[in-house]
Chains A and B, each alone.
Chain A
Amino acid sequence: MSQLPILPILVPMLAAAMILLVERRGIAWQRAVSWTAMGILLACAIALVARAHHGEVMVYLLGDWPARLGIALMVDRVNALMVLTTALLASASLLYACAGWDRRALHFHALFQLQLAGLNGAFLTGDLFNLFVFFEVLLIASYGLLLSGGRGLRMRAGMHYVVFNIVASTLFLIALGLLYGMTGTLNMADMALRIAAADAQDVALIRAASGILLVVFCAKAALLPLYLWLPETYSRAPAAVVALFTVMTKVGVYAVLRVYSLVFGEGTGELAGWAWAWLLPAGLVTLVLASLGVLAARTLRGGVAYLVIASAATLFVAFSLNTPATVGAGLYYLVHSTFVTAALFLVVDLVRRQRGASGDRLDVAAPLGSKTLLGLMFLVAAVSVAGLPPLSGFIGKITLLAAVPAAHTAWVWSIVLLTSLMALVALSRMGSQAFWRAQPVPDGEGAAPAPKRLEVAAALLLLGYGVALALAAAPVLRYTLAAGEQVLAPASYIEQVRATQPLRRAPSP
């Protein structure tokens, strides 16, 4: 059995512990350990994608217990892609933090690595309770990242975020308790089989439990009406952290895709795919409201936060149509939107600091240093996020629209196209207010120092990912379409989990 699937969880966890040990030796040591772990993680993620690329499902039995008794990790095309996306995003975010934020926030590097361990664990696990545990790991690390070095109103936003997430976790536990009581297992593949064989009288309770589970995932993914926590939290978070947080809403989206295509997927009788019928209208309404939010935003960061919600809503629309082509297009859009919204957060943070006292408020015209460079970066990111050709947003959206089944074309096309227009208007307004109406920079003391090279490099790196996604669109789309087919055909995966036997342990009766 290859040990590869456990490495993306172990490496950051070990690095976090080591960073705590070397913390008193100074920031250089912490950065060295952090970057070493990041490099290993990137190599592991690439190796995982290379393995999963051929359609092989890897199942890793923790502690060599059979999957129905112990915890199983699994790797297929979808979660290998998610791990790689996280690793790429995290390296840009780490680069941005190394420009100076990591000195000001206590334990930044340790918390950052723990967050990565939680994210990778949530992507790789094949066990529902383990999914809960990794959700908690990534949430605890995110509280620390969000709040360390913060004061005043950031604490208020943090309080709301923490309480909201704890309530969601409680609901998660309630759903797990009910599901375990009804099916007697927590392994996703096993649970799918038990649900398929469930008594008719139990189906109603199982449906209720899976509904609670859906609420939890939608709260993490900021779907209507559970998105109110996101704009306030994200617009007050430090830039390097919020760039990494853009993948956190995607964890919720991924969990919905995984659980409702595997545990409640085809072959589970009455419950097969019941969630998709609810998620499609919810996704469309969220898309409209989030785009209105972008239009109405009073700060640059608030606007970008609403763009994050809009991208998660687009993903819900893509996944709830539930055909291999739409899911494949959705996965491409997921990777694109993660990178581009993170890039926007970084660019907007650079702009905010160049504008001096006016910050990122949109109702005032302020002087802006380094106008050309920041303007160009904002332009590239805005074109991409609005879905204009020739960048990755356009490719993602057009593939998605082309894949929409005929029965849903009218609604989905009109809403997706309309909200793209709204985002375009809002982004043009942001751009003209921040860059075209910028007043001349006063000479001497009033001017902010030029953006640091590392920070610009981090933003450029994220934009570069987007351009690379557009240039390599054919192979990436081929991969995501194959992933869409794989995730919607859970039978082979369930077979693989059942066929994987412990190596050293005698099979139990």
Chain B
Amino acid sequence: MMEFALASAIGALTAGGVYLLLRARSFDVILGLTLLSYATNLLIFSAGRLAVGKPPVLLEGVETTLANYTDPLPQALVLTAIVIAFAMTAVTIVVAMRSRADNRSDHVDAREPEADA
């Protein structure tokens, strides 16, 4: 059940992210990138297998086998990925705002399509 829920969450986030990414406005594209990065973070997290109530750090007096612990590495990877995705979102927003100010349009091609003009 837990696997099904997580897989559905990853799938829904990815679908939403790809849909938004293909739209023509910078703002939608940035939101799409954010959703995609959430989906990726969940996917990496699941690479360490899902477990409930198991700590990733060693405890005193508990035998050090995988039966008692969960894999800590994916959690470290997710942390790195979150930081990088966060920084990238900031960069994209700055570039998008600058492009909008310079080109007077937040269309990704920096000009409005002919029909609107």
Contact = CB atoms under 8 A, between A and B. Distances in A.
18 contacts: A129-B77, A133-B80, A140-B91, A151-B102, A153-B103, A155-B99, A156-B99, A162-B88, A162-B91, A163-B29, A163-B33, A169-B84, A170-B33, A170-B40, A174-B40, A177-B40, A178-B47, A180-B48
Interface in A159-212: 159-160, 162-163, 166-167, 169-170, 173-174, 176-178, 180-181, 186
Nearest to A158: B95
A3 B36 CA distance: 39
Given A176-B44, A180-B47, A159 B36 contact: no
Contacts of A386: none
B44 A159 contact: no
Interface residues of B, number: 32
Interface string B10-44: 00000000000100001001000100110010011
A136 interface: yes
Nearest to A151: B102
A170 B95 contact: no
Contacts of A174: 40, 43
A133 B36 CA distance: 18
A162 B103 contact: no
Given A136-B84, A162-B95, A170-B40, A156 B110 contact: yes
Nearest to B37: A170
Given A133-B84, A162-B95, A180-B48, 19 more contacts: A133-B80, A152-B103, A155-B110, A156-B110, A158-B99, A159-B110, A163-B21, A163-B29, A163-B33, A166-B88, A166-B92, A167-B33, A177-B43, A177-B44, A177-B77, A178-B43, A180-B44, A180-B74, A186-B73
Nearest to B64: A509
A78 to B, nearest CB: 27
Interface in A290-330: none
A101 interface: no
Interface residues of A, number: 28
Nearest to B84: A136
Interface of B: 21, 26, 29, 33, 36-37, 40, 43-44, 46-49, 73-74, 77, 80-81, 84, 87-88, 91-92, 95-96, 98-99, 102-103, 108-110
A143 interface: yes
Interface in A132-164: 133, 136, 140, 143, 147, 151-153, 155-156, 158-160, 162-163
